[in-house]
Structure 1
Amino acid sequence: MGVGDVSKRILLGRKLRSAQLGETLLPKRIALPVFASDALSSVAYAPDEVFIMLSLAGASYYVWSWKIAIAVAIVMAAVIASYRQTVHAYPSGGGDYEVAQVNLGKTAGTTVASALLVDYILTVAVSISSAAQYAASAVGWLQGHEALFASAMVLLLTASNLRGIRESGSFFAWPTYAFMFAILGMCLFGFFQLVAGTLPDVESADLVISPAPEYEGAVTTLGLLFLLARAFSSGCAALTGVEAISNGVPAFKRPKSRNAATTLLLLGMIAITMMVSIIVLAKKMGLRYVDPREFDRMTYFDGAPLPEDYDQHAVIAQIARAVFLDFSPGFYFVVTVTGIILVLAANTAFNGFPVLGSILAKDGYAPRALGSRGDRLAYSNGILFLAGMAIVLIIAFDAEVTKLIQLYIVGVFISFNLSQLGMIKHWTRELTTERDPDRRGKIYRSRVINAVGLSFTSVVLVVVLITKFLAGAWITILAMLFFFAVMRAIKGHYDKVQLELAADEDDKVLPTRVHAVVLVSKIHKPTLRALAFAKASRPNVLEGIYVATDPVETNRLIDAWDERNLGVPLKVLHSPYRELVRPILQYVAEIRKSNPRGVVAVYIPEYVVGRWWEQLLHNQTALRLKGRLLFSPGVMVTSVPYQLRSSEIAREREEREDFRVRPGDLRRGQVDERRDPGRRG
């Protein structure tokens, strides 16, 4: 095993057989933190965005915060109920994409796919950027380097997910459960203090917020409605990540659909409880919170401006500091696990994006490389692509959540709407064939649930488009259009290639003759082996060709060729400019021109080496020549390998590795197979 293989095994772990796919499936206790961390973590920034929007008209409008929280909770409950129907009807993991593709057509399916791809990329960028902001507020030397820190976190998540979904899920489970415990415990303790009349104020309660210029003076009814719509659309960021479970059903243990539906229910109950509790507590504790770029609108009660180095802590951090005023470990525990969960929230996308990419690859809408599983049975190429795109966004927006959040949730609500519409059509089609009264009753109920979900998500989508379009949502729409166009182009290419490669009657016609040429550099074992192999193929014409660049070497080769009497004519191609590839290409083209219905078979002797650096010293001309000949019609290229001693050493090393007993092999019954290859199979 080479240095590269050793490093890969240390990073990713041992290889897994395809038959071990069942070992990677998740029980509900692991699936909940794996697929729900995104939606759960949204309580770390969705309340912040609600208060930022309401602060535009002044702190007095925070009175609407709990009502907005209830509205968001109702929408989330409707979406959760709708997706519970989806995981039962479409358990293959296609989620929204499959629902739209099957029921609404290819255009709708591609639209949903492009929306989800953009949403997954933004999920990673927003979550990791938010975590970087938390880290920078706690660790001073990170300030100004948030983008670099966020990029490093993305790389860490990438390495973890390349090890496999079960391994990453087990590793990330405890921080997610710790986050649930911390937030719910903090809220419970806060409400206990509220009932007892001892609930303290947060650190920002003594500040005053001046309205933004557009909201100075009396706010009109239309202005109030637009303000509430903006706050509601920002709060709906809490719904992102809900769809990940419908895309990850194949990763659940059996019964897959029921386990996925149960996990969805748990997710909804926990996320709604945490979000509503945080917003209510923040309002009761006198929170004042504005856009970090607008600190000039916030002053002390006496009118004194805030210091230039004022650090506005996040909503959860302010609540935790006040609630656990006499118990600092509680505050640090809440802040720490919140920062961790924001990093892990991106893990939801790392599980959903590769699965969706593999389905798109299977359907021909994405490169087939996205459908290939890696050594650890994870869709490695999809994971790497997601990481690369997220890092580009983080660097482009300097890891600023306020900028990135404006791009958020547009894509996911487009997929929500098309998915619900597709499910309504699905249930309507089911009713045309179903005759069992009990089953028809369940179908009617499911259709009503999806109809309610569609009505809610449609309203949210309209609100989001109106309030966020000019603020940055147009970038998301452009990105969706880009992915849509790319996927349709890829599909068109694959369809065209498939049509072009389809066998017909003309393919049965044999070539009129085969003209074989063997490339000769000198007379040695690789050349003789290539000549012998070419003779065995019985071509109509066989000759060796040599490119002459040095008269002395050329004469020496001709003498040696005649002396051996190989029975094969040698064609010498003179190259006055010392080119090697061009004379061969020209000669092959002349043969093809003289006999268009014939085939030219080019045999190239190649060295097989065992070390990577040896490959740099050999076969370079052969590689260039093969690359050029591939574009020549009617030319067949055959590499005739000759194994050098170093290749045998590499093979022996691999065989020793195959027979080495690894931890767990005895338990899996694989020891005897390695020691006795004849018993395999």
Structure 2
Amino acid sequence: MLSGLKRLLIGRPLKSNELCEQKLNKTKALAILSSDALSSVAYGPEQILLVLMTVGAAAFWYSIPIGVGVLILLLALILSYRQVIYAYPHGGGAYVVSKSNLGENAGLIAGGSLLVDYILTVAVSISAGTDAITSAFPVLHPYHVLISCLLVVFITVLNLRGITESASILAYPVYLFVLALFILIGTGLYQIASGAVPDHLHAPVGTPVAGITLFLLLRAFASGSSALTGVEAISNAIPNFREPAPRNASRTLAAMGVLLALLFAGIVYLGYYYGIVPSEKETVVSQIASTAFGRGILYYFVQATTAMILVLAANTGYSAFPLLAVNLAKDKYISRMFTVRGDRLGYSNGIISLAILSIILIIVFEGRTEQLIPLYAVGVFIPFTLAQTGMMVKWLREKPGGWTARFIVNLIGAVITFGVLIVFFVTKFAQVWSVLVFLPLIVIMFHRIKKHYDAVGEQLRITNCERAPRAHGNIVIVPVAGITRVVENSLNYAKSLQPEQLIAVYVAFEREQEKQFEEKWNKWQPDVRLVTLHSQYRSIVQPLTKFIDTIEHKANELNYRVTVVIPQFIPKKRWHNALHNQSSLLIRARLLYRKDIIVTTVPFHLKK
């Protein structure tokens, strides 16, 4: 039944040679890899106005130069990550750049930041989209967390079906959102050009404003820079592109940069010209759409596509998290399970892990993830800064043709992103201080995992000077619970091993029971030695392991191996397991961690 449900949800398994069919063209890649960046247009300009509002509406004209500054930073990031794509075509983005040029710890900080950031991407985006849904239908508000979790499950299933299938479905809402905002911006600019918007709604550019400070402007710039989250996702996901992957990824990155710049600039300008004042009850985009269209069909079209893009922004995390996890796993910093492709050739373990962690985050914060947004932005600007700095080091070290211009681009980007990072820490320390705690912990965890893998590799490696000790004989112990076909099957297998000693062990709770069993055994298997153990506390595992300890000590003196053959019957239906005690599982669980014990399970399959 479970297998049938799995096939229904994610489809038939794909052959390994079908991998090329799961690669993305530029149109689909732009949709699923830029959804996070494009969705930030819905809240980035608003974040600028929220800061400026603290000194009055007259200060809103500063949103224009601040918006220009954000666009300059966007240009620097696009040019930088374009260089990253060609320099590191196997993906990994900021992690690979930082590790290659700044050292192991810098790479792990970048990688850890991005892993956490992609989890936050899913949690924040889904919760924001759910907010839009519950705002439209207030009756659903009590089910906010449940709706958010169901949306995570829905997007997870889509991604488990394969990247091309999820892209085919999710591309439509993304392009509808882009279309809606272009219609909105075009209508707004037409109304402004035709004189339909009164000039008194906004303060002229250059109007003196009392109370404005450089610190406030930097804070507004840092808040507006939250619109750049997700820009790095394409450089992490290069392996998902069709060949030539670097060129296709580069062009997709450029297209995303152009769309993001146009939409961001348009919303910032309309917000300023219309004199929009941020409100807790209505978003800036909603107010602009209401002013431009009234509460008609086009208004609801903008709102509907905005809600969809906020939900689907989570898909950027699903696209980039598994591939970043693959790079970390290949370098032995996280579990190797993240390198395994699933039935549909996607990295299913990464997708499922991302979903579980995101749901936990949503439940813990009860779907109110507003306080996570600054943490979300900081998690992006740390790898931004490290990637820019890493590329600077690369150009200084290698000095290829035209390296000076590339170095200047990365230098500008590094200075701006580092400045934004510092402003975030200074102005929102109470919300982002945890970064200073969990990032070192994540790096320590990475090192511990790497140390474990290195130790395992060292112990498994075969060298000419080391040989595994060879045993001179074998002692086989068979725990028995009665005289049954299951036990008979296990004894026959144990005899086929031709051991030096074969011992059957029976644990009795009552003395009378012990004597009766010994009499029956001597008639049934007189050639197999039986040891009966009395258990005063009705435990099977404890007296058995003590006996095995004694045999193991004697076996070591003789250089013998000790093998424990565990009989186990397998019911015809899986739910039947709940009707039987699982003594064999308990015995096996206890013995598997014993260094010098070999544990073998002999199954006996029931037919009814």
TM-score class normalised by the smaller sequence? over 0.9
Deviations 1:364-415 (A, max 9, x none): 2112333333222222232233223333433444444642322231121110
Residue of structure 1 aligned with 2:231, choices 242, 264, 267 = 242
**1:449 aligned residue:** 409
Q: SS at the partner of 1:26?
A: coil
Cα distance 1:565–1:226, how it changes in 2: closer, same or farther (>3 A)?
A: closer
Partners of 2:382 and 2:421 within 8 A in 1: yes
Q: Kindly provide the amino acid, as one letter, of the partner of residue 373 in structure 2.
A: I
- Is 1:579 the counterpart of 2:548? The answer is no
2:68 is matched with 70
Amino acid at match of 2:589: G
The reply on whether 1:473 has 2:432 as its aligned counterpart is yes
Give the Cα–Cα distance (whole angstroms) in 2 for the partners of residues 546 and 200 of structure 1.
95
The equivalent position to 2:332 in structure 1, one of 340, 344, 364, is 364
Would you say the 8 A contact 2:55–2:210 is kept in 1? Answer: no
Q: Which residue of 2 aligns with 1:600?
A: 562
Across the two proteins, how many residue pairs are aligned to each other? 599
Q: Quote the offset at 1:54 in angstroms.
A: 0.6
Which of 431, 448, 461 pairs up with 1:489? 448
Deviation at 1:466, TM superposition (A): 2.3
Secondary structure at 2:603's aligned position in 1? strand
Distance in 2 between residues matched to 1:166 and 1:357, nearest whole Å: 20
> Cα distance, 1:461 vs. partner?
2.2
- Give the letter for the 1:636 counterpart: I
Cα displacement string for residues 83-122 of structure 1 (whole angstroms, at most 9, x for unaligned residues): 0011111111211111111222211111111111121122
- What is the match of residue 546 of structure 1? 506
Q: 2: CA distance between counterparts of 1:270 and 1:531?
A: 72
Following TM superposition, by how much is the alpha carbon of 1:594 offset from its aligned partner in structure 2, in angstroms?
A: 2.4
Q: What is the identity, as a one-letter code, of the residue corresponding to 2:215?
A: F
Say whether the 8 Å CA contact 1:245–1:260 is kept in structure 2. Answer: yes
* Alignment equivalent of 2:194, drawn from 188, 193, 196: 196
- CA shift digits 1:163-210 (9 cap, x unpaired): 2222211110000000010001110111011111113799xx69xxxx
The alignment's TM-score, normalised by the length of structure 2, stands at 0.93
Residue 643 in 1 paired to residue 605 in 2? yes
Indicate the residue corresponding to 2:205 in structure 1: none
CA contact (8 A) 1:131 1:340 kept: yes
CA drift of 1:500 comes to 4.0
Change over 3 Å in CA distance of 1:617–1:133 after alignment to 2: closer
Aligned to 1:224: 213
Offset at 1:581?
1.6
SS in structure 2 at match of 1:595: helix
Structure 2 CA distance, aligned partners of 1:30 and 1:164? 13
Per mean C-alpha deviation after superposition, the further-off stretch among 555-564 and 13-22 is 555-564
- Write the distance in 2 (CA, Å) between the matches of 1:561 and 1:153: 61
Please name the residue that 1:633 is paired with. 595
* Aligned pairs for 1:229-308 within 5 A: 229-290=218-279, 292=280
* Superposition deviation, residue 124 in structure 1: 1.8
CA–CA distance in 2 between the matches of 1:333 and 1:278? 16
Which of 95, 107, 112 pairs up with 2:105?
107
1:429-578 matches, within 5 Å, as 429-431=397-399, 440-470=400-430, 472-503=431-462, 505=465, 507-550=467-510, 554-564=514-524, 567-578=527-538
> Match of 2:350, as an amino acid?
G
Shift of 1:473: 1.6
Q: Secondary structure at the match of 2:433?
A: helix
TM-score (norm 1): 0.83
AA aligned to 1:474 is W
* Structure 2 residue aligned with 1:11: 9
User: Take 2:387 and 2:427, find their aligned partners in 1: how far apart are those partners?
Assistant: 23
8 Å contact kept, 1:545–1:570: yes
Q: Identify if the C-alpha distance between structure 1 residues 419 and 639 changes in structure 2 by more than 3 Å, giving closer, same or farther.
A: same
Q: For the structure 1 residues 561 and 146, does the alpha-carbon distance in structure 2 shift closer, same or farther, using more than 3 Å as the test?
A: closer
Contact 1:233-1:467 within 8 A present in 2 as well: no
CA contact (8 A) 2:117 2:380 kept: yes
Q: Quick one: distance in 1 between partners of 2:105 and 2:437?
A: 17
Note the alpha carbon deviations across 1:150-172, whole angstroms, 9 max, x for none. Answer: 33322322222222222211110
**Partner Cα separation in structure 2 for residue 610 and residue 104 of structure 1:** 58
| Deviation for aligned residue 1:630 | 1.6
Summarize the Cα distance change of 1:541–1:383 in structure 2 as closer, same or farther, 3 Å threshold. Answer: same
SS of residue paired to 1:572? strand
Counterpart of 1:416?
384
Give the match's secondary structure for 1:616: helix
Q: Which residue of 2 aligns with 1:330?
A: 298
Secondary structure at 2:482 match in 1: coil
CA distance in 1, matches of 2:357, 2:592: 33
> What code does the residue aligned with 1:287 have?
I
> Contact conserved, 1:16 with 1:377, CA < 8 A, in 2?
yes
**Contiguous gaps of at least 5 residues in structure 1:** 207-216, 293-311, 432-439, 647-681
Partners of 2:514 and 2:534 within 8 A in 1: no
**Deviation string for 1:588-619 (max 9, x for gaps)?**
10112223243211111222334221223346
Partner in structure 2 of residue 654 of structure 1: none
Alpha-carbon distance in structure 2 between the residues aligned to 1:603 and 1:398: 50
1:620 aligns with 2:582: yes
SS of equivalent to 1:538? coil
Q: What is the alpha-carbon distance in structure 2 between the residues aligned to residue 395 and residue 620 of structure 1?
A: 34
Q: 1:201 to 1:487 in 2, by over 3 A?
A: farther
Contact 2:475–2:555 (8 Å) recurs in 1:
no
Q: Secondary structure at the match of 2:89?
A: coil
Q: Which deviates the most, 500-509 or 27-36? A: 500-509
8 Å CA contact 1:54, 1:62 repeated in 2: yes
> Could you report, residue by residue, the CA deviation over 1:239-297 in whole angstroms, capped at 9, with x for unpaired residues?
1101110111001111100000000000000001001110101111111115x3xxxxx
Counterpart CA distance in 2 for 1:401 and 1:544 is 60
Letter in 1 for 2:542: R
> Matched residue of 2:213: which SS?
helix
Q: Which secondary structure state, in structure 2, belongs to the residue aligned with residue 198 of structure 1?
A: coil
**Structure 2: distance between partners of 1:398 and 1:553:** 57
Q: Would you say the 8 A contact 1:114–1:481 is kept in 2?
A: no
Percent sequence identity is 40
Q: Which amino acid aligns with 1:256?
A: A
Q: Aligned in 2, Cα 1:201/1:33: closer, same or farther, shift over 3 Å? A: farther
Alignment partner of 1:373 out of 320, 338, 341? 341
Aligned to 1:93: 91
What is the root-mean-square deviation in Å for CA atoms of aligned residues? 2.4
Q: 1:317 corresponds to which residue?
A: 286
Residue-by-residue CA offset, 1:510-559 (whole Å, 9 max, x unaligned): 12432111222233333223222222222222222222335565455434
SS of the residue aligned with 1:645?
coil
Q: Is the 8 A contact 1:201 1:322 kept in 2?
A: no
What CA distance in whole angstroms lies between the structure 1 residues aligned with 2:537 and 2:381?
64
Q: Distance in 1 between matches of 2:184 and 2:567?
A: 72
1:181 matches 2:150: no
Counterparts of 2:87 and 2:580, CA distance in 1: 57
Aligned-partner residue type, residue 239 of structure 1:
L
